[in-house]
Chain A
Amino acid sequence: MFVTVLFALLFYVATAIFLVGLGMRIARYARTPAPLKIPTTPAPTTRGGVVVRMGTEVLLFNSLFKANKWIWLFGFMFHVALALVLLRHLRYFLDPVPTWVVLIQPFGMYAAFAMVIGLAGLWARRVFVERIRYISSPSDHLMLALLLGIALTGLGMTYLWHTDISAVKLFFTGLMRFELNPLPTQPLLLLHLFLVASLMVIFPFSKLLHAPGVFFSPTRNQVDNPREKRHVANVKWMIAVEKPAASADQ
């Protein structure tokens, strides 16, 4: 029971920090003015074009592909696998389980391997490529360790030490209704859940902010139409009544 209460609290707190922290960050990005037009050109000249550009960035990592095929390969592999794995996990939170979630289960299971390979590839580059080693701080390694830990503990439960997954589901669906159902105390499960909660807590304060950040990146989300449409923003230097340039003479 102690474990159940502890993890219930942990997940309530982690979810709160995740949602509030991320929400505040996104609000901050949205509120901060982008005073000037700075799309990296060639850039789309219409809103629709920007949606396509953002789509290729977020779904295909277009710029990264141009930059470096290895980083793209490992990064893309990891992110697609992570998405599949996350979607697969919806079955532990939704009742009844939607058909499409059932259908992706087998892909989600194998995706975990792709996730591990992707993470291992990225970590290997971080360790062995001199340039990337130079720019890495301890937190960059820890982040990979954390993600790898989550993936490996998950894989462990799928293939080696099974846990009572229906009890886990009862625990989480219960949490969503503010009811406490007992959580199995299998160590691998507890470790998996602890790492996931840690990730949620870290998210709004770390480089994981790249996920919302990319959508707010002016070099990618601005329309290239400064001559056609006057871009204005509410910043002091722009709206201040200007002195004529000649007054700077003295």
Chain B
Amino acid sequence: MTLDCLGQKCPLPVIRLAQNIGKVAVGEVIRVLADDPAARNDIPAWCRMKGQEYLGSPEPAAFEVRRVS
């Protein structure tokens, strides 16, 4: 699943991620496209707080998260 949050200010990309994480199966990956400067910091922080796995940023303004629970 890819969430296009380009142009959205934080915390919107993190809210979209939280709203959609339950829609993928455990083990699957969500890709978030976000260009707000806070996303690079806040998406990994969300993963840590919510026990999900942050996989990294394969390209600028793209962040991948694996659902683990």
Q: Do A and B bind each other?
A: no
